[in-house]
Amino acid sequence: MEKFFKLKENGTTVRTEILAGLTTFMTMAYIIALNPNLLTGFGANGQDLWNAVFMATCIASAIGIFCMAFLANKPFAMAPGMGLNSFFAVVVANIAGLTGMTYVESFQSALVIILIEGIIFFILSILNIREKIVEAIPLGVRYGIAPAIGLMLMNIGLGSNVGIYAAGNDFTTPFFMMRDFFGALTPSVIRDYMGAEGYTQMVLTVATAFIGLFVIILLAKKGVKAAVLLGMLVASVIYWAGEAIFMGVNPFASLSGASFVPPFADMMNLTFFKFDFAGFFQLGWFTAITLILTFCMIDMFDTIGTLVGTASRAGMVNEKGEMPNMKEALLSDAVGTVVGACTGTSTVTTFIESASGVEAGGRTGLTALTTGILFLACIFIAPIAAIIPAAATSAALIYVGILMLQGLKNVDFGDMDQMVPVALMLIGMPISGSIGHAIGLGMISYTAIKLFSGKGKEVSVLTYVISILFLIKFFAVV
């Protein structure tokens, strides 16, 4: 362990790394069930396809994470990216509408996009082009990535991570903690709107998340390395007890009769190397190329932003804001995407939830290895992973998000060249839900300010190219 992962050199121990890996896994375990839900319309397009995507999610995530552990020796975890999976599902539905193919056939056609994207990224990583793109991001913009991701994590923790469906609007759209609970004029307003049962669940969720958050904070102040993990465990127990006492719900009911047998056959029959190239080319060259470029742009800058932001928080970057072994980390991401396409899921990318493991002390690939093993184990124990309450993971996300705001101290707010791009990223990332799009806003604003203030020569050619590509992405791609 020591020789391979260089634990002493990175100031960590086996125990710390394993706990950090477990922490990362617990904060992102939701993807194991949510990804197949999103890609199959919550099972509406067949349980067999759901099973196939579930298997692909676990296997592709694990292989990508193992690459990160052994090639880059970094504590980052990967899984099918949120946002990209929703976009993939929309593309699949559009292909079905345009061609008349079934959803499964359209799914197999759309996997071609992910395969080509992964191959492109693999080549770009081998040729160091993706690393050059990282270097083209101005230092001031890089300083703002970690705090912007922090706000995004807080937004997820207080919003979409704990959406509650209630009778008040016929279970059509979720209610969120920050927007609906804390945004209500009075408690009676939100109670009347949600309905008694939904409101009880909301109160339990809010109380659980904030108790978990403050347990984490108190333990962290005392120097407890496993603060995040212990806080999540405390929050989970409180939520399970609350479900039983106040809602009359058995929190472990889903384990009764749950199958622990991995559905390998469904993956082999429906998604494993099931690329429908003929169906894909029915879209036409322009649409096909546009879709590939769109996935590439979003994934590239989501990954770059996550790596740079999380590494900055962990002190893994040099004075130029560069992370050692960036090439290997990007190569691992590309491998994950190719494996995801081959097994049957949307783009696999580095997860911002990796920040929770980094905050728990994870500094090497042993953290990633631990997370990857747990993902692989989930093909057997998925029902157990599924009972971790969202309120517990929200506590971790909010805490890590708060800590990542510390990166703002590196931003020179007296310099408009830095302040404006960072400010746009701070607001753009949580609202758009896309790390890549927010970085694009930062790059465009930085380039425009430099150009029109007579300092255009200070901007590198590659920075101009990236800014122009984002302008095309935002305004010209249809």
The letter for the amino acid at 143 is Y
* The pair of three-digit structure tokens given for residue 334, joined into one six-digit string: 């590309």
Q: How many CB atoms lie within 10 A of CB 112?
A: 21
pLDDT at 42: 63
Q: Is 389 helix (H, G, I), strand (E, B) or coil?
A: coil
Give the CA-trace dihedral at 53, 56, 62, 67, to 10 degrees: -130
Give me the residues of the chain with pLDDT under 50, please: none
Q: Which residues pair with 350 in a beta bridge?
A: 78
Residue 346: partners with Cβ closer than 8 Å, 6 or more residues away:
35, 39, 80, 81, 84, 85, 87, 88, 89, 114, 340
Q: Quick check: 83 and 248 in contact, CB under 8 A?
A: no
Burial class (CB in 10 A: 0-12, 13-18, 19+), 2: exposed
Which residue has tokens 């990362």?
A: 24
pLDDT digits (tens, 9 = 90+) for 184-203: 989 999 999 999 999 999 99
Helix H or strand E segment including 213:
helix 196-221
Half-sphere exposure (CA, 13 Å, Cβ side) for 195?
12
Across-strand partners of 164?
A: 175
Q: What is the pLDDT of residue 98?
A: 81
